[in-house]
A and B are shown apart, each in its own frame.
Chain A
Amino acid sequence: MRLERRTYMPLHLVVLAPLVAVLAALVLAAGLIAAAGVNPLMAYGEMLRGALGSQLAITEMLTRATPLIFTGLAAAVAFRAKLWNIGGEGQFFMGALVSAWIGHSLGLPGWLGVPILLIVSMAAGAALLAGPAFLRLRFGVDEVVTTLLLNFIVLLFVGLMIEGPLRDPLAFGWPSSVPVDDAFRLPDLVPRTRLHIGLVFALVAAAMVWLVLARTVFGAETRAAGLNAEAAAFAGISLQKTIMGVALLSGALAGLAGSVEVMGVTAGVTTTMSPGFGYAGIVVAMLAALHPAGVVAAAVFVATVFVGADAMSRATGVPSFIADVIVALCLLTMIVALLFTTYRVRR
């Protein structure tokens, strides 16, 4: 048995790979569900019904998909340039925190304030990744370590702020930051649901990221640098500039996720507002094979698992942690699936 590089990747394999990976992850998770004493088919049925069974369920699922699209794009952009940004979670919280902080007392009308808050949160996310990117470029410090550890620092910082200076006095002791001004709450997309126009922002962001990666000089340089840094340098592409550019774009997208979540859903920041949007974004990006359009589809899938697992948990008693297990398994199975799309097995 040996692995042979495929000369080209047929499109049906590219599409099939994530589907097979998801199926394999669900089969593996079914073992755990069965071990909890529940019929897996019934459990998955509950899960689907909980996420897609009614209009309300669907809007809830799409609400959950919105930040995942942003964090998925953030990971996809970075991974394409081989910048391993594991810090989406921290950048998410940074974007959320500055939005709430500035958005609480910014005396501006909504049409002006919302774009300002979005831009400020992008800057915050970008700044948070600029540090690790600089350390990598200047001293060769592994960004996997720095970005991952920054997540915990940021989370502790958020805790500090919402217990202290940004504490919401009206929250009855519930640890939450002050909320953004009502003027900056994003309008609902569907009345009487939590679904807000942040979803449209996310779709626009996906389209723009696609445009930048596929059509611009920056996108072409990023691809070249990610695939063969030496050849890119020989062709005169500055690795420092591309990596830093990618870091700023990736951090900004993750920061946007936090900002949109605050303005669209939570109003204030709590340390529990994210069920791991930053980390799940990595899975989303991998399932999407780092393609922006795929990110949207993968985000919808992961959101379905997250939302559906809650419903399943209520109906069957299987702990909703199963959602994290399924998402994590998807990452592993997708990596195996990618191996088989890149290589073929020969005897």
Chain B
Amino acid sequence: MTKVLELHGITKRFGALTANDDITLSLRQGEILALLGENGAGKTTLMNILFGHYAADAGSVYVFGKELPPGVPRQAIEAGVGMVHQHFTLAGNLTVLDNVMLGSEPLSRLKSARADARVKLLKTADRFGLPIDPEAKISTLSVGERQRVEILKALCRDARILILDEPTAVLARPEAQRLFETLRDMTGEGLSLIFISHKLHEVMTADRVAVLRGGKLVAERNTTETNPAELAELMVGRKVERPTREDHRIGAPVLVAANVSIGSGEETRLDDVSFTVHEGEILGIVGVSGNGQAALGALLSGLAQPSSGGLTLRGVDASSLGPRGMIRAGAGRVPEDRHAEGVVGELSVWENAVLERLTTPQFSKNGFVRQRESKVYAEGLIKRFDIRGATPDTRARLLSGGNMQKLILGRVLSNDPCFVLANQPTRGLDEGAIASIHAELLAAREKGAAILLISEELEEAVALSDRIQAIVKGRLSAPVPAKDANPQKLGLMMAGVWAEDAHAT
């Protein structure tokens, strides 16, 4: 097979950090290559060099045998390289067609070539099996559809090599599966693809996997000759195993939601939801994102109140306690989005560590913050939860995702909560961090905490949970014990297929 793309000895340094260290890699015609690596391994940097966003310090890029000048994205586009960024670059108030045309239209022309572009878009969409309505407004599209527009945008500029940066980061499981099927079909049309991922089961759908670690290319494997376990070890550099749950006795009910609904006006966000979390139990809530997880998270964080139904924590009404009231009542909360809700990035680690409990006597006296005690406490969290690269005075935004999550989990668990809400606790984290977050949650369960885990990762939910309920359009299925849960059954539950009469807990 011919090589369509070659990278030779690519090296890129940012100050003292070597993001890419002498990387040589090639892509063959009609092949899907997965670029696997943990956060910070240099995957995105490498693709940005290839696409001309960055200029490499050393090395060269050849596309279809011709060398690309460094640092000129337009040259890369003209050579037939298309990039789909992790964070979409679409204008929400414009239509699909407008977005596809945006940037590729010469300014000097008076008449826009709308009709031609429309024909080309429809033809491309048809050829690659990516159906789309050219006149739909971007803001009305789902995330999966928006991604389709991004891909079409690249294809309409005659890309023959497509780079996708973490394409499934924003997609639910079924959408992700559909995407990989589409990508496979696209190779039949002569496209060659590279996608970036840190998820093991995803990279197995590619033809070949290149593993990056610490800026170096550590291995290349054909997927037929490797397995997820080997790839995990290559990626992390040591053996990583996620901890497993051991059966133990489940105690008394701690958190009980009875027929809770949350609605605002016409819109119902939670619809007659009932569940119980017991002492020493992890209850997993699985579901495709956007089915009411946000409302459930807000309810249990104290940010939203039920419009009907009741919530009790250790037998006491907890439906309108507010965030601080929930914490005082013994609840610990891990928010869905650690950057947006979990920490204040510009504040220090110690300030974030005590933020939730600033007004308690432990951390303040007469309205003044007890700085020394707070810093000692933060120091303790850093040690106890192995938060790397942090001192109490480090700005929180400088922590990696995994360490930020350890900080949030640490401040929750160090308060010995009787109930813990863990909302997407490992989203976007690498294997090493996932393993330690799982271990902490299981340790809290061992100590008797009642934990409600909201997750989109089926493996995670099955591995950690004692019982699982599915959330679909704001409604909850009846719980199934984790030992009876298999992917088929959970898949059906997540699709909303369950027996309504079994809806009692």
A residues with a Cβ closer than 8 A to B are: 7-8, 215-221, 223-224, 227-228, 230-237
* B342/A234 in contact, CB under 8 A: yes
Look across to chain A and name the residue whose beta carbon is closest to the beta carbon of B55. A347
* B303/A233 in contact, CB under 8 A: yes
**Chain A neighbourhood of B341, CB < 8 A:** 230-231, 234
Of A215, A227, A231, which contacts B371 at CB under 8 A? A215
CA distance A328 to B176 in the complex (A): 54
* B346/A228 in contact, CB under 8 A: yes
Q: Given that A215-B369, A217-B367, A220-B369 are contacting pairs, would A227 and B398 also be in contact in the complex, using a CB cutoff of 8 Å?
A: no
Look across to chain B and name the residue whose beta carbon is closest to the beta carbon of A218. B367
CA distance A218 to B323 in the complex (A): 17
**Chain A neighbourhood of B367, CB < 8 A:** 216-218
CA distance A221 to B359 in the complex (A): 10
Of A223, A227, A236, which contacts B323 at CB under 8 A? A236
A7 to chain B, nearest CB (A): 6
* B398/A236 in contact, CB under 8 A: no
CA distance A7 to B398 in the complex (A): 7
Question: Max chain B CB contacts within 10 Å: which of A215, A221, A224, A231?
Answer: A231
A215-B368, A223-B347 are known; give 10 further A-B pairs, CB within 8 A.
Answer: A216-B368, A227-B345, A228-B340, A230-B340, A231-B340, A231-B341, A232-B355, A233-B323, A234-B335, A235-B358
* A227/B344 in contact, CB under 8 A: yes
Q: Given that A231-B340, A231-B341, A234-B342 are contacting pairs, would A221 and B347 also be in contact in the complex, using a CB cutoff of 8 Å?
A: no
- Cβ of B364 under 8 Å from chain A: yes
* A228/B345 in contact, CB under 8 A: yes
* A224/B351 in contact, CB under 8 A: yes
CA distance A230 to B342 in the complex (A): 9
* A227/B324 in contact, CB under 8 A: no
Look across to chain A and name the residue whose beta carbon is closest to the beta carbon of B394. A8
- Cβ of B243 under 8 Å from chain A: no
Question: Max chain B CB contacts within 10 Å: which of A8, A234, A237?
Answer: A234
* B303/A234 in contact, CB under 8 A: yes
CA distance A201 to B99 in the complex (A): 59
Q: Number of contacts between A and B (CB, 8 Å)?
A: 70
CA distance A218 to B358 in the complex (A): 10
Q: Given that A216-B368, A216-B369 are contacting pairs, would A236 and B356 also be in contact in the complex, using a CB cutoff of 8 Å?
A: yes
- Cβ of B343 under 8 Å from chain A: yes
**Chain A neighbourhood of B131, CB < 8 A:** none
**Chain B neighbourhood of A236, CB < 8 A:** 302, 322-325, 327, 356
**Chain A neighbourhood of B302, CB < 8 A:** 236
**Chain B neighbourhood of A227, CB < 8 A:** 344-347
- Cβ of B301 under 8 Å from chain A: yes
**Chain A neighbourhood of B356, CB < 8 A:** 235-236
- Cβ of B333 under 8 Å from chain A: yes
* A224/B335 in contact, CB under 8 A: no
Of A7, A217, A219, A232, which contacts B344 at CB under 8 A? A232
- Cβ of B28 under 8 Å from chain A: no
* A231/B369 in contact, CB under 8 A: no
* B364/A217 in contact, CB under 8 A: yes
- Cβ of B395 under 8 Å from chain A: yes
Interface size class on chain B is: 20 to 34
Q: Which of B299-355 contact A (CB under 8 A)?
A: 301-303, 322-325, 327, 333, 335, 340-347, 351, 355
* A231/B342 in contact, CB under 8 A: yes
**Chain B neighbourhood of A232, CB < 8 A:** 344, 355
A81 to chain B, nearest CB (A): 13
**Chain B neighbourhood of A234, CB < 8 A:** 301, 303, 323, 333, 335, 341-342
* A217/B345 in contact, CB under 8 A: no
What is the 8 Å Cβ interface bit string for chain B, positions 64-90, against chain A (1 contact, 0 not)? Answer: 000000000000000000000000000
A95 to chain B, nearest CB (A): 26
- Provide 25 A-B residue pairs closer than 8 Å at the C-beta atoms, listed in order of the A residue: A7-B398, A8-B395, A215-B368, A215-B371, A216-B367, A217-B368, A219-B369, A220-B355, A221-B358, A223-B344, A223-B351, A224-B347, A224-B355, A228-B344, A228-B345, A231-B341, A231-B342, A233-B323, A234-B303, A234-B323, A234-B335, A236-B302, A236-B322, A236-B325, A237-B358
Q: Which of B391-416 contact A (CB under 8 A)?
A: 395, 398
What 3 A-B pairs come out closest when comparing CB atoms?
A236-B323, A236-B324, A234-B341
* A217/B301 in contact, CB under 8 A: no
CA distance A231 to B337 in the complex (A): 9
**Chain A neighbourhood of B325, CB < 8 A:** 236
Look across to chain A and name the residue whose beta carbon is closest to the beta carbon of B337. A230
**Chain A neighbourhood of B345, CB < 8 A:** 227-228
B415 to chain A, nearest CB (A): 13
CA distance A268 to B344 in the complex (A): 47
CA distance A346 to B371 in the complex (A): 37
**Chain B neighbourhood of A220, CB < 8 A:** 351, 355, 358, 369
* A235/B355 in contact, CB under 8 A: yes
**Chain B neighbourhood of A221, CB < 8 A:** 358
Look across to chain B and name the residue whose beta carbon is closest to the beta carbon of A221. B358
CA distance A235 to B358 in the complex (A): 9
A225 to chain B, nearest CB (A): 9
**Chain A neighbourhood of B351, CB < 8 A:** 220, 223-224
* A217/B347 in contact, CB under 8 A: no
CA distance A217 to B333 in the complex (A): 21
CA distance A218 to B364 in the complex (A): 11
A344 to chain B, nearest CB (A): 10
A208 to chain B, nearest CB (A): 13
Look across to chain B and name the residue whose beta carbon is closest to the beta carbon of A2. B53
**Chain A neighbourhood of B358, CB < 8 A:** 217, 220-221, 235, 237
**Chain A neighbourhood of B323, CB < 8 A:** 233-236
**Chain A neighbourhood of B371, CB < 8 A:** 215
CA distance A238 to B89 in the complex (A): 34
* B322/A231 in contact, CB under 8 A: no
Look across to chain B and name the residue whose beta carbon is closest to the beta carbon of A9. B395
CA distance A227 to B303 in the complex (A): 19
**Chain B neighbourhood of A235, CB < 8 A:** 323, 355-356, 358
**Chain A neighbourhood of B395, CB < 8 A:** 8
B304 to chain A, nearest CB (A): 11
**Chain B neighbourhood of A231, CB < 8 A:** 340-344, 355
Look across to chain A and name the residue whose beta carbon is closest to the beta carbon of B301. A234
A220 to chain B, nearest CB (A): 6
**Chain A neighbourhood of B335, CB < 8 A:** 234
CA distance A231 to B303 in the complex (A): 12
**Chain A neighbourhood of B398, CB < 8 A:** 7-8
CA distance A230 to B344 in the complex (A): 9
CA distance A221 to B343 in the complex (A): 13
**Chain A neighbourhood of B368, CB < 8 A:** 215-217
Look across to chain B and name the residue whose beta carbon is closest to the beta carbon of A232. B344
B356 to chain A, nearest CB (A): 5
CA distance A216 to B359 in the complex (A): 10
**Chain B neighbourhood of A218, CB < 8 A:** 367
Look across to chain A and name the residue whose beta carbon is closest to the beta carbon of B297. A234
B396 to chain A, nearest CB (A): 9
**Chain A neighbourhood of B333, CB < 8 A:** 234
**Chain B neighbourhood of A216, CB < 8 A:** 367-369
CA distance A23 to B435 in the complex (A): 54
CA distance A217 to B345 in the complex (A): 18
Look across to chain A and name the residue whose beta carbon is closest to the beta carbon of B333. A234
CA distance A231 to B333 in the complex (A): 12
Look across to chain A and name the residue whose beta carbon is closest to the beta carbon of B335. A234
A228 to chain B, nearest CB (A): 4
What is the 8 Å Cβ interface bit string for chain B, positions 360-382, against chain A (1 contact, 0 not)? Answer: 00001001110100000000000
